[in-house]
Structure 1
Amino acid sequence: MECREERASRVNFGLQELAVRLRSNIARVIVDKEAVIDLLLVALLSDGHVLLEDVPGVGKTLLAKALARSLNLSFQRIQGTPDLLPGDLTGISYFDQRSSRFVFRPGPLFSHVVLVDEINRATPRAQAALLEAMAERQITIERETRPLPRPYLVLATQNPVELEGTFPLPEAQLDRFLMRLPLGYPSEEAELALLQRFREAEPLEELEPVADAEAILRAQREIRRLYWQPEVERYLLTLVRATRNHPAISLGVSPRGTLALQRASAAYAAIHGRDYVLPDDIKRLAPVVLAHRLMLTTRGRLRHQDAEQVLQEILENTAVPVETPDLTALSRRSARSERP
């Protein structure tokens, strides 16, 4: 019991305040997308990467730029094209005639925030150059391993409608993305506000940073301290294992996906002011963290099912653990800590 109380005393509402500042700042540019911004912050604090997938013109690139400006971190944008080479991403060594030696010139991957625009237009060879950077936060060039800056976030965009001249991401690379997010069209009121906001000024150019690298790294460490009830952790595991036994799924969630859902759920709880994870956190994050890791059987596709529908069926058929007295006490303790 003492161990649980010690964990409960680690409530850090600085995480929630950090999320509020970032959310408000990004919302000055991106209208009516608070839920998407929250998920983007979850990925950042979980030390994961995001695949933004939607039709052209809904603000995928603008969202990535607004996040980078809000963090006061180095930022680079890469345009996916069929002639993009791995060296264009990682950097190259060239011979400097002045010093008579080879000098390494870092590529755009050596930045805190990297935007890969239209990633599915790059060839598989160029896409593969991202794997080591995304998974291990390092790049090996000419037998020398070079670390990447921390925090490190890759935001990739792709258009799921236009398929001509594209190279679909393989499952191994999709599994490196913590989550896949759609943006969707804004509501009529939000689009009207968008017209007025961009008619009067360019909000992105006026955006000021509200966080720095140290704040993000500190938040990433704090998230690992959140309390997990055994029943809640078992619920997460049951969901993941159900994807491996479902008749409509030929490839279920990998252990990497299990860890991704654990980190994301903890981050989601933290930005909402809690130092413990609820089953609702897992249910909220499961569609965006797990769906892109699933591969359906031919039978499932013939039934016009998609991964999101199958995952929703698994969520509905999996028993949710009820709140226990320990968790109720923990909730009251957190509420008291939140009061001034």
Structure 2
Amino acid sequence: MSQVLDHQLADWRSHALKLENEVRKVIVGQDKAIHLMNIAIFARGHVLLEGGVGVGKTTLLQSITRGIGGAYERIEGTVDLMPNDLIYHTFLGADGRPQIDEGPLLRAGENLSVFFFNEINRARPQVHALMLRVMAERHLHAFKREYRLPHMLVFADRNQVEKNETFEIPSAARDRFMMEIPIEIPSDRELRKSLMFDTRYQHAEDLTQQVEPEILHFDQLNDFSRTIQSHVRASDAIKEYALDLWEATQHPEKFGVKMDSVDAHRLIHTGASPRGMGMLLKAARVHAWLKERDSLYPEDLHAVFHEIVAHRLVFHSMYEMRRTALSRELTSRIIDAVAVPAKA
């Protein structure tokens, strides 16, 4: 039985790494983001994407969907978007009469694997409420029937430039997302030159077609994710270390955390939630599995710590405008300050 499990774990790992390599062929300069999204896929966690306009988020998600199989759906956040727009849409039929059809959340049914909510903070809070409920429950009642969405992962991005007609996602809602992953413009000059002058990057649909289809089986990921979680173990030392990291997000002064431009004690209003720390361990186990280990090391927690914890931290209001920079500094200082166990 152990040999069968080891073979299954190795086979899925090879396919997971192949997915990363295939997506890297068409999405340049985003290796870390692709790796983190791969972790989220196997940890079965929803993702916030942090990045500006035109950095390739849509092409990246379509490429990943092609690699894992299943259906891809997308909706644009607008100030006039209503909850029902996610569930159904109306149109005039051939006979000139109004018709009702399933909307983007329901159209693919159980085959929906990736749902992209673009500029989610342009949508009103009642739209957020519906989306967050579906994310948590993965089913919805409509058209007098129950729609199950067991394989759906939600990726959402926020417009972080414009403030007019936006409705920021509250901290309790952000906590529903496993990670917030930055999608940044590559800093390497040669990569920038390729993005500007290599004409293949001007045709997103052709790019995604270069990814080998169905490297993974989207409808088997839930079961295999549970296999990973039960396979990768955590020692008592790692458990204590994870608890210290959690406490440091709540009371950084207890661990001697110091920041350059602000008192860390005055910065934090609320630290990471129990849900967030549970997600940290889930993602860390996936990272360990991808590194061919069956036990957790501190580096597995470090690899996903910022992306899982930062968006969950609630700062005092005077610091919210500097959230991105301050959260990155704080999570780095926590990792530096909290003592790593001598033996994992």
- The normalised TM-score by structure 2 is 0.81
Deviation, structure 1 residue 153: 0.5
SS at match of 2:198: helix
Deviation, structure 1 residue 234: 1.9
User: Residue type matched to 1:30 in 2?
Assistant: I
1:313 aligns with 333
1:72 aligns with 69
User: Residue type matched to 1:281 in 2?
Assistant: D
Structure 2: segments with no counterpart, 5+ residues: 92-98, 107-111, 253-264
* Separation of aligned partners in 2, 1:21 and 1:197: 25
* Separation of aligned partners in 1, 2:275 and 2:291: 25
Residue 43 of structure 1 is aligned with which of 40, 45, 50?
40
1:120 aligns with 121
Give CA-to-partner distance per residue, 1:113-172, whole Å, 9 cap, x none: 101111111111111111111112122458965421x32210111231222221111112
Give CA-to-partner distance per residue, 1:45-88, whole Å, 9 cap, x none: 11101111111111112211111111121111111111111111
* Separation of aligned partners in 2, 1:35 and 1:180: 13
User: Residue type matched to 2:103 in 1?
Assistant: G
User: Residue type matched to 1:239 in 2?
Assistant: L
Deviation, structure 1 residue 272: 2.2
Q: 2:237–2:343: 8 Å Cα contact kept in structure 1?
A: no
Q: 1:61–1:157: 8 Å Cα contact kept in structure 2?
A: no
1:109 aligns with 105
* Separation of aligned partners in 2, 1:169 and 1:178: 14
Q: 1:90–1:129: 8 Å Cα contact kept in structure 2?
A: no
Deviation, structure 1 residue 229: 1.2
Deviation, structure 1 residue 215: 4.3
Residue 258 of structure 1 is aligned with which of 277, 281, 285?
277
Q: How many residues align?
A: 310
% identity of equivalent residues = 31
* Separation of aligned partners in 2, 1:65 and 1:162: 26
Structure 1: segments with no counterpart, 5+ residues: 1-5, 95-102, 325-340
* Separation of aligned partners in 1, 2:17 and 2:322: 42
2:95 aligns with none
Q: 2:201–2:207: 8 Å Cα contact kept in structure 1?
A: no
Matches within 5 A, 1:7-18: 10=6, 12-18=9-15
Establish whether residue 212 from structure 1 lines up as the match of residue 217 from structure 2: yes
Deviation, structure 1 residue 191: 2.4
Establish whether residue 198 from structure 1 lines up as the match of residue 217 from structure 2: no
Give CA-to-partner distance per residue, 1:218-255, whole Å, 9 cap, x none: 43122112111121122112111221224221011111
SS at match of 1:275: coil
Q: 1:295–1:307: 8 Å Cα contact kept in structure 2?
A: no
SS at match of 2:73: strand
More moved, 17-26 vs 190-199: 190-199
- The normalised TM-score by structure 1 is 0.82
1:178 aligns with 178
